[in-house]
Structures are given as C-alpha cells and as structure tokens.
Amino acid sequence: MSVTSAGAGTRPSHWRTGAGRVVAAAALLTAVAMLPWLSGTDPALTVLRARSADQDPTPAQLSSVREQLGLDEGPFVHLVQWLSGLARGDAGTSWVSGEPVLPQVTTAFAVSVTMMLGALLVTVAVTALVCGRTLYLGSRRRLRRTATGVGAAVPAALPKFLLASLLATVCGVWLDWFPSSGWEGPPSMVLPALALGVPSGAMIGGLIEQSLPAAFGEPWARTAHAFGFSPGFIARTALRRALPGVLPQLLPTVVGLVGGAVAVEKIFNIPGLGRLALDAAMAQDLPPLQAVTLLLVLLGVTAGLLIQALCRALLGPALRDGALPALPRPALPQPRFRHWITGCCAALLLTLVIAGLLRDPSLVDPAARLLPPSPGHPLGTDSLGRDLLARLGHGALRTTGVALAVTAVSTLAGLLLGMAGRVGTGLTEVVSTLPAVLAGLLTTAVTGPSVWGAACAVCAVGWTPYAAQTAALVAQERASGYMLASLSFGAGPSYLLRHHYAPAVLPAVLRNALLRLPITVLVLASVGFLGLGEQPPTPEWGRLLSENQPYVELAPWTVLGPACALVLLSVLAVSTTPPAPAPRRRTAGRTTSESLSLSGSRRSPTSS
C-alpha cells in the first residue's frame, strides 16, 4: 500500500462537512426563532415594554401588537417568512423601532469586524512576544528546558472587561491618548483592540510555545543545524510545523470576538454586533436577532474555510498524501523553579480562602463603603461595605467547582466532536462565533436563571476551542507515518485511539483547558451579570469583578483581589500540568532528509 493511497483513503468526503454546517445553522436559527415563545413571557408584552416604558399595558394594546406582528401564527411561520424575505434581500423590520434591519446589522458588522482585525494584530504581536524566546533558543539548538507557561498564563487570565476599564481610564481619560468612548475612526479602535488582543495573544502564544519544542526535536532540525542552515530558516520552518495545530484556535478565540465582545463594547460605547445581538435578545426583537445570528454563522464558516486552507498550505503535500512525520514529544526537563511557583500560588490561594472563610461575607456596613485595604479589611470593602476578603474566600469553592465542571464537560465534548470528522468541523464553525450571552438567553428560557443554567449555556459554546484543536491534531496524526505503519499491520480503531490519537491529542488539549480555566470563570460571570446565572448576593469571583467594575477608577482595590485570585488560579493550573511523555520510537526507514523535506523545506541539507 502506497503512502498516497493511504492518505487519500483516510480523508472523509466533503459532503459531511457541508451537512454538518447546514444542520447546525438550521438548528441554531430555529432555536433563536423560538426564543420569544420559550421564555415563558408574552412576546407582545416584552416588545411593547421595549417600545415604551409602559409597565402596565392594557389588553387592547397587547392584542394590537400581536395582530401587528402576527405572533399568533407561531415561530415556524415567522422563520419561513423571514427566510423567504431574506432571499429577496429583505432582512425584515425591527419589532421595536420599526426600522429596516439590514442597514443597522451591516453597520454593526462593519464596526465589529474592524475591531476584530485590530484585535488580531495585537494578538499576533503578543503571541510573538510570548513564544519569541523559545523560537530563539530552539533555532540555535540551545533549548534545554521546557517553558513553564507562567508568562502566558498571567495575561491570558486578565478579564477583558477589567482590562478595558483600566485602558479607558488611564489611556483615555487620564492621559487622553485615545478616545475612551464612541466610534469615530481608527483611533477609537486602539484601546478595544488592546483589551481584546492581549489575553487572546497570550492564550495562543502559550499554546505555540508548548508546541515548538516538539517541532525543534524533529530530525530535520538537527540536520539543518548540522549543515549550517541559518537560525532564521530553522525558526520559520519550526513555526510552520507547529502553527497548524494552533491556528484553529483563532476561530473561537479571535473571530468569536465579533459577537462575543459585549462587555468591551459596552465599556467603550461601541455600536458593534455584540451589543446589537444582546439588545435584540433582551427585547425579544426577533428580526435583527435572526439577522445577526445568520451573519455570525456565515462568518464562522468563512473563517473556518480560510483557516483550513492555511493549515493545508503550511503542511504541504505531506498532509494530503499521508506522509507527515509525527511530532516527537521531547522529554525536556522542567525548570527547577516550577515547583516553587506551584507551591507559592497554592499557599497564597489557600491563605486567602481560609482567611476569608473566617469572616462574614453578607455583613453590610454603609459606613464602611469602598474602604481601602487595612488591617481590619485586608482587601478593602465594596460599594455596600462588605468585606472583600470574606466574599473572595466564601466564593472560592463555588467558583472553582463550577468552572472545573464546565471545563471538564466542555473538554470532553470537544474531544468527541473533534474526532467526529468533518461533521464535527461544520458544527464547530457554526457555534464558535455564537456569543455565550445569547446561548445563556436560550438556555435560561428553558431552565430559568440559575448557576447550573449558566453552566449549561457556557458548555453549549465552550467546547469549540477544544474541538477545533482536536480536529487539527487528529488530521495531522492521521497523515503521519505511524498511522501508515499501524494500518499496514492491521491495527483496529481501539489500538489507533490508544496508541496514536490519545497520545497526540490529550496533552495539548489538557494544557489548553487549564489555560482557559480563568476564562471560563469570567464567561460564567458575564452570563450571571445579566441575571441569567448566579444571583446576588452570592459571593462568586466573576460576579465580584462585574459588580465592582464601575468603581475601578475610584476604588481599584475592589477588583484587585478577585483579579489576582484569577491570575493565581491560572498560574497554578498551568504549572501543575503534567509534562509531555517521552518520545515514541521512530518509524523504521525514515531518514532525516525525508523529515526535512516533509516539514516544508524547499532544499534538502543532504543535497547541499
């Protein structure tokens, strides 16, 4: 059996991807169309209150709204009528304002895409800073230890809305460098792009930093260095080899910001797509909500196709022909200070939690509002005079417990859907750009506002980063020489799963999950902040950040404690990640020159 035939035989037909996209898009649009009826409230009442502040409308007014909007016909008739109008270029009319939907959706989409492109530039710059040291040392064969990941964990754990508030206050109000509110051109894009791009760049940079040692451990890197190839060439080739496994993270991490940057858009008063979707969902204004959802689906599919094409271009014919060398897993020693970092973070978190548990988190003292840290209140007090250390300690177990449960469920779902082939790819592209807030509205319409309803909402969209990463790693493993050798010896699915897919996927996905653990806390907080999840006065870390965010300029200590706790949690999670396993045996007969040519080099060191 030839390499080419083996590689071609492992590729699923493309119709499955298209079927997955169509089914996922249809299910999502149907769920959105049913939102006013699932919520348990009269859609006519919600629309009428959104139009005016009338809190006690008469039955005649409600009947007039139902007749005007045709609410008695049901959601499916509305969806069919909206789709038929969309085919004629008519996205409908807003139920609240009475204005055409298409112009306002187009304007909001242009603003959000511009902001996303700015965030993408910042993401690339931060990514380069995070993994620059590993690239430099690896290209010169001086990489002796694996990275700890702490450098990426700290900025990745920064809450985007908190970073946006700090940038708006310091750079916008105090220093007057950039506009702190509104959308008036390129200068207005700088601060939102920084708030969105810095955590995203740290996230993606951390994943690349963990993948580069394996690329530098391939035989081609040793051969290239021995034959005098420049460090720049070796660095570019290693980056080209490591990027395809991480590039799919751009879809949920950066492209998802188009509809998911609701908090940042509110802080900077940006008329983007996220705010439009949130306002329409809260008012149950169905036509603009459906238009925004369809636009996000199309954006996710288009971005997914572009990323897939870029990954295929980076890996070259080896991915298509089933001749891709599997990345080794170098057994590099861990830095000695890694254990010190783990111990210090665990000790600090434990001290904060125990000290907080000894205090009353619900005691309200109006005379002690917004007090700075002192011996009586080590972390200060909030706007109601409650002790922040007490609220931080009492919220630790609930916060980490729910976040760990959501992360575990999302990771498992992402692994299963990522291994499902092209059907899972289409579903991932559609769901990746869906805002968690919209998922929260759909979920709580059925379950009601609760912590587990919010957890289900986050799980509904939180699996996409892991599915995208799993699908990319499985595709590379399927095209490796190991797979060809195993298939030629008659290996079955269970053997391939244990000896190929699981070792190639699980370590990288686990690192990704631990790096995203603080982000899960913040997404749960953003859903709960809208009244869809954990209800006040429950002391939950994300809610502490959301509640005290308006006071960040007047009393920055109100958010400093929860933010530091999230950073400590992120560093602790990353530093306790188990190291990569030792490298597996090489497939017999593979030479170093073959490995170099399969890694994308244009000329072989052996020929020079």
What residue has token string 């990463």?
A: 469
* Residue 39: per-residue pLDDT: 67
Nearest CA among 426, 397, 385 for reference residue 551: 385
Distance CA 258, CA 116 (A): 6
Distance CA 197, CA 128 (A): 12
For 167, the token pair is 């940038």
Each residue's pLDDT tens digit, 42-96: 777 777 777 776 566 777 777 887 777 777 777 788 888 888 888 888 888 888 8
For 132, the token pair is 């620059």
Residue at 431: amino acid letter: V
Beta-bridge partners for 480: 324
Each residue's pLDDT tens digit, 174-196: 888 888 888 887 888 899 999 88
* Residue 321: per-residue pLDDT: 64
Distance CA 378, CA 23 (A): 53
Distance CA 328, CA 318 (A): 17
Distance CA 608, CA 606 (A): 5
Each residue's pLDDT tens digit, 141-153: 888 766 666 677 7
Distance CA 193, CA 113 (A): 11
Our measurement of the distance from residue 320's CA atom to the centroid of its chain's CA atoms, rounded to an integer in Å, reads 29
- CA distances to 33, 251, 265, 464 from 434, rounded to whole Å, are 15, 11, 16, 10
- CA distances to 301, 383, 400, 525 from 460, rounded to whole Å, are 18, 34, 19, 16
pLDDT classification of 128: cutoffs 50, 70, 90: very high
Q: Where are the alpha helices (DSSP H) in 70-218?
A: 75-87, 101-139, 150-156, 160-167, 187-216
Mean pLDDT of 426-445: 76
Q: Which residues contact 327 (CB under 8 A, 6 or more apart)?
A: 211, 214, 215, 217, 218, 241, 242, 476, 504
Nearest CA among 518, 520, 326, 263 for reference residue 410: 520
Distance CA 197, CA 116 (A): 9
Q: Which residues contact 572 (CB under 8 A, 6 or more apart)?
A: 342, 345, 346, 349
Mean pLDDT of 532-556: 76
Exposure of 487 by Cβ count < 10 A (0-12 exposed, 13-18 middle, 19+ buried)? middle
For 45, the token pair is 């009442």
Separation of first and last alpha carbons in the chain: 32
Distance CA 221, CA 236 (A): 11
Local structure of residue 480 (DSSP, 8 states):
B
Each residue's pLDDT tens digit, 555-600: 888 888 888 888 888 778 777 765 544 444 444 334 333 333 334 4
pLDDT classification of 431: cutoffs 50, 70, 90: confident
- CA distances to 149, 225, 290, 591 from 141, rounded to whole Å, are 20, 8, 54, 20
Mean pLDDT in the chain? 78
- Choice among 56-60, 463-467, 506-510, 576-580 with the minimum mean pLDDT: 576-580
Structural domains of the chain ordered from first start: 109-285 (1.10.3720), 337-576 (1.10.3720.10)
Report for 25-39, 341-355, 436-450: range of highest mean pLDDT: 341-355
Distance CA 543, CA 392 (A): 10
Distance CA 354, CA 349 (A): 9
pLDDT classification of 124: cutoffs 50, 70, 90: very high
pLDDT classification of 234: cutoffs 50, 70, 90: very high
- Tell me if residue 175 falls in helix, strand or coil: coil
Distance CA 192, CA 175 (A): 16
Residue 534 confidence (pLDDT) above 70:
no
* Residue 55: per-residue pLDDT: 61
Please check whether residue 412 is in contact with residue 418, taking contact to mean a CB–CB distance below 8 angstroms.
Answer: no
Q: Is the link from the previous residue into 537 a cis peptide, with omega within 30 of 0?
A: yes
Distance CA 381, CA 373 (A): 8
pLDDT classification of 125: cutoffs 50, 70, 90: very high
- Tell me if residue 376 falls in helix, strand or coil: coil
Nearest CA among 32, 36, 100, 96 for reference residue 65: 96
> Given CA atoms 287, 293, 295, 297 in this order, what sign does their dihedral have?
negative
- CA distances to 227, 241, 267, 439, 485 from 590, rounded to whole Å, are 19, 18, 56, 49, 12
Q: Where are the alpha helices (DSSP H) in 140-186?
A: 150-156, 160-167
Total number of residues shown for the chain:
608
DSSP string, 257-271: HHHH-HHHHHHTT--
Each residue's pLDDT tens digit, 270-282: 888 888 887 887 7
For 514, the token pair is 């631990």
498 or 259: which leads in pLDDT: 498
Count of Cβ atoms closer than 10 Å to residue 537 Cβ: 13
- CA distances to 387, 398, 519, 545, 551 from 564, rounded to whole Å, are 16, 17, 14, 11, 17
Residue 9 confidence (pLDDT) above 60:
no
Each residue's pLDDT tens digit, 391-424: 989 888 888 888 889 999 999 999 988 887 666 7
Local structure of residue 179 (DSSP, 8 states):
-
| Percent of the chain clearing pLDDT 90 (strictly above) | 5
Residue 260 confidence (pLDDT) above 70:
no
* Residue 10: per-residue pLDDT: 40
Burial state string for 239-261 with b = 16 or more CB within 10 A and e = fewer than 16? bbbbbbbbbbbbbbbbbbbbbbb
